[in-house]
Amino acid sequence: MTRHRFAIRIAAAAAIVAAITAGGTAAGPAQAAAPETVIVTFHAKAGSEAELAAVIARHWDTARRLNLVLDSPHLTVRGTEGDRQVYFVDIFAWRDASVPDHAPAEIQKIWADMNRLVEARNGKPGLEFSEVAVVDK
C-alpha cells in the first residue's frame, strides 16, 4: 500500500461487513463494491486527548451522514501505553472499499485535524491503519 493511500485511508476506524448488492439491470444483478473493515489506531499527542476523541466522534458522525460507512457495529476505545500515553482505536467498515480513495473534502478536513492531534510513537506513525476481515464464530 502506498504512503498516499495509507494517509487517505486513515479514518478511521468497527462496522463489520455484509455484502452490499445494487439493483439489477437487463444484464443481470449488479454487485456493489465490497465494504472494507478497518482498524485505525491514533497515538494522541499529550494534551490533545479530549480534542482527538471529539474529532474521532465527528468523523464517525460525518461519515454516517454522508453514507460512507456501514451503520453498525462501530467501536471506539481508549487505552494507555508506555508512560500513560493515550491512544484510541476506531473500528468500522467503509460502505465501499473505494470510499477512502475518493473521500469528500469534508472528510479530508477531519483527517487533517486527526493528523494534527497525533504523534509518532515507538517507531510507529501517529495514525496506524489496518484492513481486517471479520471472523464469524
Question: Are the C-beta atoms of 66 and 74 separated by less than 8 Å?
Answer: no
Question: Are the C-beta atoms of 46 and 108 separated by less than 8 Å?
Answer: no
Position 16 pLDDT exceeds 60: no
The backbone region for 122, taken as left when phi is positive above 0, alpha when psi lies in -120 to 50, beta otherwise, is: left
Split at pLDDT 50, 70, 90, the class of 137 is: low
- Report the alpha-carbon angle 80-82-83, nearest 5: 90
User: Domain 3-17+32-132 falls in which CATH fold?
Assistant: Alpha-Beta Plaits (3.30.70)
What is the mean pLDDT of the segment spanning 108-127? 96
On whether the pTM is more than 0.85, the answer is: no
The 10 Å Cβ neighbour count of residue 65 is 10
Instruction: Give the CB-side neighbour count of residue 85, counting CA atoms within 13 A.
Output: 14
